[in-house]
Amino acid sequence: MAKAKPTDFTPTPPEPSEWLNRRASEQASRAAIARQASGRRRFVDPTTCERDYSEAEMEFMMAMNAYKQRSGRMFPTWSEVLEVLRGLGYEKPETEGLLD
């Protein structure tokens, strides 16, 4: 039995027009138009706004950033946030009925 000769086959890359998913592009365009037309404001993160922070706010933000860097967690749990607050010296007051 004779062996088949290997052919010199070089695959050609697809054309850029073949990379587009027309249905997804149209759907994304419709969603963007609807989002603009709705008039709803998007959520604004207050930490990105230019404003004057109190000393306590700055201390808390810096402590959270330090915790994130130490732990490697970008999104700490509420338990971890409480741990940072306690590390800053915050304690729950013993007075009953504060939330009533």
Kindly report the number of other CB atoms within 10 A of residue 51's CB atom: 7
Q: Tell me if 57 is assigned to some domain.
A: yes
- Taken as a whole, the chain contains a residue count of 100
Q: Give the model confidence (pLDDT) of 5-20 as tens digits.
A: 666 677 777 676 666 7
Backbone angles phi, psi at 7, to 5 degrees: -95, 155
Give the residue numbers spanning the domain of 65: 53-87
Specify if 39 maps to a domain: no
Alpha carbons 84 and 62: distance in angstroms, whole number: 10
Q: How far apart are CA 48 and CA 70, in angstroms?
A: 22
CA-to-CA distance for 86 and 95, rounded, in angstroms? 18
Q: Is residue 48 part of a domain?
A: no
> Is 4 a member of any domain?
no
pLDDT of residue 21: 76
In a domain? residue 38? no
Q: How many domains in the chain?
A: 1
Any idea which of 24-33, 41-50, 54-63 has the lowest mean pLDDT?
41-50
What is the pTM (predicted TM-score) of this model? 0.46
In a domain, residue 15? The reply is no
Residue 74 located in a structural domain: yes
The type of residue at 65 is N
Going 58 to 63 to 68 to 74, the CA torsion angle's sign is negative
Residue 30 maps to a domain: no
